[in-house]
Amino acid sequence: MKPVAIVTGANRGIGAETARALAQEGFSLALAVRNPDSATELAAELGQYDGEVIIVPCDVSKHADVKAMVETTITRLGRIDTLVNNAGSLEPIGLIEETDPDSWLQCVQVNLTGAYFVIREVLPHFRSRGDGVIVNLSSGAALRPLRGWSAYCSSKAGLAMLTRAVAEEVSETEIRVYGFQPGMVDTRMTQEGLKKRINILSDKKAEDFFPPAEPAAAIAMLCCHRPAEFHGGESRYGDEQMMAWLETL
């Protein structure tokens, strides 16, 4: 049976490119997206590979949606081997006292609580076999405060600690957990966020951004090769250690 991966937020950007990379590596895929219509073209494209591809509606900020999505994946694809927690939100952008509290909470719900929901639901399946891979899409913003991005920075910092906490709890197994920082990537979410020109990142030039396919290929390699040296911590695409490891493959 082919390995099965769930990719959340798989309809565009890094999520879509990660799905492509995993399909090329022989994975069957559950594309977890809020709007199923947004992933139909991608699913049709991935049909050229050997694995099965399903689209599962899921708002990761809602536990009931996540639970149903994981159950559907097990029912239709038979197992789960890999989880890529990619779904994310950058909004609201603005000074803290000017942000909308509900929007601020929703960002945390998607970036942090949503990742927790999916991990919570897949871990029993991983534990039953004693292995599995979780990749949490982190950010340099987890470690560095950025003006106007308080919700995003705070939620990604929490996600980095969640990665460490999960790694601690699965330390007696072969389950691997990675916090992966893709660097500055040319995605719609990033470009829309930088248009507001509220912090120094807005001065970045086009050549400073990675195309989404590059870090996505690295995510696929983490899923396939499960390197022990990155387990439980934060790794960053473009850093010397990560690039040196990729060159050995």
pLDDT > 80? residue 48: yes
pLDDT > 70? residue 194: no
Residue 95: count of CB within 10 angstroms of its CB: 10
Higher pLDDT, 149 or 29: 29
Confidence (pTM): 0.94
pLDDT > 90? residue 203: no
Task: Please give the mean pLDDT across all residues of the chain.
Answer: 93
pLDDT > 80? residue 206: no
Minimum mean pLDDT range among 101-110, 157-166, 198-207: 198-207
pLDDT of 239 reads 95
Structural domains in the chain, sorted by start: 4-244 (3.40.50.720)
pLDDT bin (cut points 50, 70, 90) of residue 1 is: confident
E strands in the chain: 4-8, 28-33, 53-57, 82-85, 131-137, 174-181, 234-236
Q: Of 116, 152, 178, 237, which is the active-site residue?
A: 152
Q: How many CA atoms, within 13 angstroms, populate the side-chain half-sphere of residue 182?
A: 29
Minimum mean pLDDT range among 195-199, 213-217, 226-230: 195-199
Beta carbons of 113 and 161 less than 8 angstroms apart: no
Does the annotation count 152 as an active-site position? yes
pLDDT > 80? residue 66: yes
% of residues, the chain, pLDDT over 90:
86
Beta carbons of 118 and 70 less than 8 angstroms apart: yes
pLDDT of 192 reads 67
**Using alpha carbons only, what angle is made at residue 157 by residues 154 and 161, rounded to the nearest 5 degrees?**
140
The string over 229-243, giving b where at least 16 C-beta atoms fall within 10 Å of a residue's C-beta and e elsewhere, is ebbbebbbbeeeebe
Q: What distance lies between CA 160 and its chain's CA centroid?
A: 12
Please give the Cα distance from 47 to 66 (Å, whole number). Answer: 24
Residue 195: count of CB within 10 angstroms of its CB: 10
Instruction: Kindly report whether the peptide bond that precedes residue 92 is cis, defined as omega within 30 degrees of 0.
Output: yes
Q: What distance lies between CA 240 and its chain's CA centroid?
A: 22
Beta carbons of 213 and 24 less than 8 angstroms apart: no
Look at residue 127 and give its three-state secondary structure. Answer: helix
Looking at residues 11-38, what average pLDDT do you find? 97
